[in-house]
Amino acid sequence: VIIFPSRITLARINREKSDLARFETQLKQLRKVPAETMDGFRITLAANIEMPEDIPSVIAHGGEGVGLYRTEYFYLNRTDVPDEEEQFRAYNRVAKKLKPDSVIIRTLDLGGDKFNSALEIPPEINPFMGWRAIRFCLERQDIFKTQLRAILRSSCQKNVKVMFPMISGFSELERILKIWEETKDELKRKGVPFYPDMEVGIMIEIPAAVVMADVLARQVDFFSIGTNDLIQYTLAVDRVNEKIAYLYDPLNPAVLRFIRQVINIGHQNNIWVGMCGEMAGDLLSVPILLGLGLDEFSVSPVLIPEVKKVINSLHLSEVRQLAQAVLQHRSADKIRTEVKKLLRQVAPIMLEREEQKR
């Protein structure tokens, strides 16, 4: 708050205000433009959502479908558990509204930082490493199968994909895929329709899954990298602990090496690789991710225009070079300097905005 601003201060602020308005109008104009580099390389830029009410924002910001539909919000702030019909209605509504763009529904990821009082998940010392997500679903198969039935029924729209979170290895995935097939058989026997060619993917957010990516890739149709968790587990930095937030760095070379590994292994096994963690919307990470060959970025709807503006200012050839170069560096600071150098040349306004945010 500036008390009794001088004429000069007022003039400066008004100037900044109109610059910002002009810039935001420019971003809005990108709504119908595809996310494509200057040399014609097209990627999918999708949105992360939490409920059907988020759809207008996805459309308004020009999102190409949904790369992460976090379904746990159904289960929060209530004392009961949502039934199949309630879930089906929501999934079906989202799929129908966004057709023909894809909608990736992530199965329940409760626990960690998300709880429901009806499910009596006991307090744990390390909830992020505890009884959460798929570990909970494997034990509460009644709840899990209810959700899988709702997802399968919504697949009749033909643009729905399913994704399992917190996969830590092959045997766990095998158990999940067995339940998935059983649920399909049960629906078939009852004559309930679903789309049989629906894509099935997993989130890569545990270091063990990165190490085993070649084995996991043979079981699924796609990977989506969940950097919010992958960074915390890789660097042993609790994602909600402000005291050590300075260590939580997407540009840490260890994180980048893991991401490179997942993308390369995915492609070697002919599956596509996306990212739905916050890193996909981090403007300094975007050029590197693009250069590493990420196929899909899924970010919060409000970030879509900014991410698109950065992608559309870059050449694939230059970001490939950048990715190769930064992966030789030993520190995040050096990597950051190199990305900024490129952004200063090709998207100076975006860099300025990014620096103001920090």
The nearer residue to Mg ion, 201 or 226, going by C-beta atoms, is: 226
The nearer residue to Mg ion, 186 or 238, going by C-beta atoms, is: 238
- In the complex, least distance from residue 62 CB atom to ligand PEP, rounded to whole angstroms: 21
Assess 229 for contact with Mg ion (CB under 5 A): yes
Binding mask 175-214 for Mg ion (x = CB under 5 A): ------------------------------x---------
- In the complex, least distance from residue 353 CB atom to Mg ion, rounded to whole angstroms: 27
- Cβ atoms of 66 and 142 within 8 Å: the answer is no
Q: With CB under 5 A as the rule, give the number of residues binding Mg ion.
A: 3
Assess 109 for contact with ligand PEP (CB under 6 A): yes
Binding to ligand PEP (CB under 6 A) within 264-283 occurs at 276-277
3-class DSSP assignment, residue 36: strand
CA distance 199 to 197: 6
CA distance 320 to 293: 8
Q: With CB under 6 A as the rule, give the number of residues binding ligand PEP.
A: 10
Residue showing the smallest CB distance to Mg ion in the complex: 229
Q: E-assigned strands of the chain?
A: 44-49, 66-70, 103-106, 160-164, 200-204, 222-225, 272-275, 296-299
Assess 227 for contact with ligand PEP (CB under 6 A): yes
Chosen from ligand PEP, Mg ion, none, partner binding at 276 (C-beta under 5 to 8 Å by type):
ligand PEP
The nearer residue to Mg ion, 88 or 258, going by C-beta atoms, is: 258
The nearer residue to Mg ion, 49 or 322, going by C-beta atoms, is: 49
* CA-closest candidate to residue 228, choices 70, 61, 107: 70
CA distance 282 to 201: 23
Chosen from ligand PEP, Mg ion, none, partner binding at 147 (C-beta under 5 to 8 Å by type):
none
Q: How many other β-carbons are positioned within 10 Å of the β-carbon of residue 81?
A: 17
- Cβ atoms of 307 and 344 within 8 Å: the answer is no
Backbone angles phi, psi at 189, to 5 degrees: -60, -35
Chosen from Mg ion, ligand PEP, none, partner binding at 277 (C-beta under 5 to 8 Å by type):
ligand PEP
From the centroid of its chain, how far is CA 190? Answer: 34
Cβ contacts of 56 within 8 Å, gap of 6 or more: none
Given 82, 201, 226, 274, the residue binding Mg ion (CB under 5 A): 226
Chosen from Mg ion, ligand PEP, none, partner binding at 309 (C-beta under 5 to 8 Å by type):
none
DSSP per residue, 82-124 = --HHHHHHHHHHHHHHHTTS-EEEEP---BTTB--GGGTPPP-
Of the candidate spans 187-195, 226-234, 248-256, 300-308, the one that interacts with ligand PEP by CB under 6 A turns out to be 226-234
Give the H/E segment covering residue 307: helix 304-311
Of the candidate spans 146-154, 185-193, 223-231, 285-293, the one that interacts with ligand PEP by CB under 6 A turns out to be 223-231
Assess 228 for contact with ligand PEP (CB under 6 A): yes
- In the complex, least distance from residue 86 CB atom to Mg ion, rounded to whole angstroms: 24
From the centroid of its chain, how far is CA 78? Answer: 26
Sites of contact with ligand PEP (CB under 6 A): 68, 70, 109, 205, 226-229, 276-277
